[in-house]
Structure 1
Amino acid sequence: MKAVVFDDFGPADVLRLDDVPEPELRDSDLLVRNHAAGVNRADIIQRTGGYGRDSFGDSAIMGLEIAGEVIAVGKDVQGFAVGDRVMGIVGGGGYAEQARIDYRMAMPIPQGMDYVRAAGIPEVFVTAHEAALHLGRLDAGESILIHAAAGGVGSAAVQLAHAAGARVFATAGAAKLDRLREFGADVAIDYKADDFARVIERETDGKGVDVIVDFIGAPYFERNLASLGYGGRLIEVGLLGGAKGATLPLDRLLYRHLQIIGTVMKSRPQRVKQAMTQRFRDRWLHAFDDGTLVPVIDSQFVLADAVQAHRRMESSSSVGKIILTM
């Protein structure tokens, strides 16, 4: 089968399409003929060496989410059969014509949804739900600040928070603010022109927000803590701006009863990923049927054009998901 591979870590043009062996079906696996796969920031990190050569017990081929048709099932599989249309998170192997997925990580594709849109759901919506609603414990009537809100996980988090009944603050570049409002943001903040901490202080009468979902890291850390209200929860999902240089104001942490929680999916144990998927599926999968939640697709590229897909992500000009099609 064809798959995107690379020999050495480096820029996008290290990627190439090549022949590789088909994945070996395990007892709890579905073998899926991929029709589409999502591109994620983690793929960039993998390509540039951030994870080393560790496959985390799965495939060394990149790609963390797929949508396609089941062509074989392992002997321990329950609830799925050959011919089913499925989407889900894989531990690697998405950038290929076929992939294996543990059936406990798979979800049925909503009726009437095409494979491209389905491939834009699993990684970002499961991650967003885990960050904002499970770890962040966001509830109706509370408020949340979501950074990098025009990206895949960010746009999913805005939709979920809005659907959960929260007041949503969201940051992005000026050209993307109208899209944030379409996703459900109540207050869209231009992170280049406005200091988000001052906007939060003004809009909340100094009370701060209950939850912050952050992908930036050190450059935002102190202002994030300043923007949290009593009992506030900061969920760190990424470090796009770097990991070093932040100062922790312990007095604010202590007296405001703040919580700082870090989360990453790729290196988590399989049972943890399964629980994350199940939580999202149980609460939200039906919401794609009536349009409450909508996968946001920025662009799509054929598998052979993975280089261009990675360059699109690295340009930071995308809104929503970048998809590879087979």
Structure 2
Amino acid sequence: MRAIRFENAGNADVVKLVEEPIPQVRPHDLLIRVRAAGLNRADILQRQGFYGERPDFGDSVIPGLEIAGEVVDVGTATTGFRNGDRVMAIVGGGAHAEYARVDSRMAMAVPDRLDFAAAAAIPEVFVTAHEALIHLGKLTSGGWALIHAAAGGVGSAAVILAYALGAKTVFTASGQKRIERVTELGGTVGVDYRKHNFLDAALDATDHRGVDVAVDFIGGPYLDRNLRALAPGGRLIQVGTLQGGEGQLSLDLLLHNHLRVIGTVMKSRSFDEKLAMTNRFRERWLSAFETGQLAPLIDRVFPLAQAAEAHRYMEASGNLGKIVLAID
């Protein structure tokens, strides 16, 4: 089968299309003919050598964490699926290939109204957004959230979920066009982080009370302002550290406002944790995709052979929504 591999750690030039053996199906597995796969920041980090070859970070050195496709083989201990079923899922690596295996307990039926590209834009980002914003962040209807990188995959998913929940958002993005598009998704107050201070915007929007939850991917440079943007009892959910992991932390602020800082990341979680996260998302939101209440936001679809270009496009930070690889 055709698959993506990285020659070494490095820039997008190390992304190569190669021939790999089709994965062997284990008792609880489904073998999926992959039709589309999401591209995520974790794939960039893997290419750069951030994860090395650690086996606890997945069960395949082929990149890619989310798939949509058709079942072509079923493990002996698997129930509820059969050949030909359309499924989407988070996988432990291996998505950027013509075939991938997934534990059947992680698989979700693709809603009839969605094509494979749209389905591939759901699992990783919406599960992560739900986990950060609602499960860990405890955002409720009528609450306020501060969402950074809102034009990206997880950020835009978080805005969409907050709006569906009946909450309001202060969100950051670059450029008026992207702010307008995120506003159309349900964002309340947009901030161009290159021109304006998101802390001021968050306090102004909430009459200086602060937001209930902040979801951040940037890291150290935002830490102090994120905490100062929180209302008493607020939660900062740290999902990434795109600009570094070192920041200024005022323990007095943390103590006096009884704030919480919670870190979360998908790739290094155990299977049981990933399954619990998937089930929480499935139970709360999958039916909303089936009815059309929710829909993923796709920026561009690249063919698998142009995976290197897709990496470059993501690293340029110009996308608005998900980047997807189509695998024909």
Tell me how far apart the structure 2 counterparts of residues 168 and 263 of structure 1 sit (CA, whole Å): 20
Deviation at 1:36, TM superposition (A): 0.4
Q: Who is 2:87 aligned against? A: 86
Kept after mapping to 1: 8 A contact 2:233/2:259: yes
Which whole-Å deviations, capped at 9, do the CAs of 1:175-207 have from their partners, x for residues lacking one?
310011011101111111110001111121210
| Match runs of 1:38-187 below 5 Å | 38-56=38-56, 57-174=58-175, 175-187=177-189
State percent identity of aligned pairs: 56
Deviation, structure 1 residue 51: 0.4
Tell me the amino acid that sits aligned with residue 127 of structure 2: V
* 2:262 is the counterpart of 1:261: yes
2:229 equivalent in structure 1: 227
Query: Equivalent residue of 1:92, what SS?
Result: coil
Aligned length: 325
Structure 2's unaligned 5+ residue stretches are none
Q: Which SS does the other structure have where 1:70 is aligned?
A: strand
Indicate the SS of the match to 1:289.
helix
User: Partners in 1 of 2:6 and 2:147 — Cα distance?
Assistant: 34
- Whole-Å separation in 1 of the counterparts to 2:77 and 2:139: 36
| Runs of 5+ consecutive residues of structure 1 not aligned to the other structure | none
Tell me what 1:207 maps to.
209
Report deviation, 1:289.
2.4
- Partners of 1:142 and 1:239 lie apart in 2 by 25
Q: What TM-score comes out, normalization by structure 2 length?
A: 0.98
Contact 1:54 1:60 in 2 (8 A): no
What is the distance in 2 between the residues matched to 1:308 and 1:36? Answer: 16
Cα RMSD, aligned residues only? 0.8
Deviation per residue, 1:151-194 (Å, 9 max, x gap): 00000000001111111111101231001101110111111111
Q: Is the 8 A contact 2:170 2:201 kept in 1?
A: no
Shift of 1:291: 2.4
Instruction: Give the Cα separation in 2 of the matches to 1:152 and 1:291.
Output: 19
Displacement of 1:7:
2.1
- Do residues 217 (structure 1) and 229 (structure 2) align? no
> Equivalents in 1 of 2:266, 2:289: separation in Å?
23
Give the stretch that moved more between structures: 292-301 or 60-69: 292-301
1:237 alignment partner AA: V
Say if 2:296 is the partner of 1:301.
no
Cα distance, 1:107 vs structure 2: 0.5
Contact 1:55 1:92 in 2 (8 A): no
What TM-score does the superposition give when structure 1 sets the normalisation length? 0.98
State the Cα distance separating 1:112 from its structure 2 match. Answer: 2.3
CA deviations on 1:109-167 (whole Å, 9 max, x unpaired) are: 00121001100000000000000000001111111010000000000000001111111
2:122 partner amino acid: I
1:247 Cα deviation after fit? 1.5
Secondary structure at the counterpart of residue 100 of structure 1 = strand
Aligned letter for 1:84?
D
Counterpart amino acid of residue 322 in structure 2: K
1:267-278 mapped onto 2 (5 Å cutoff): 267-278=268-279
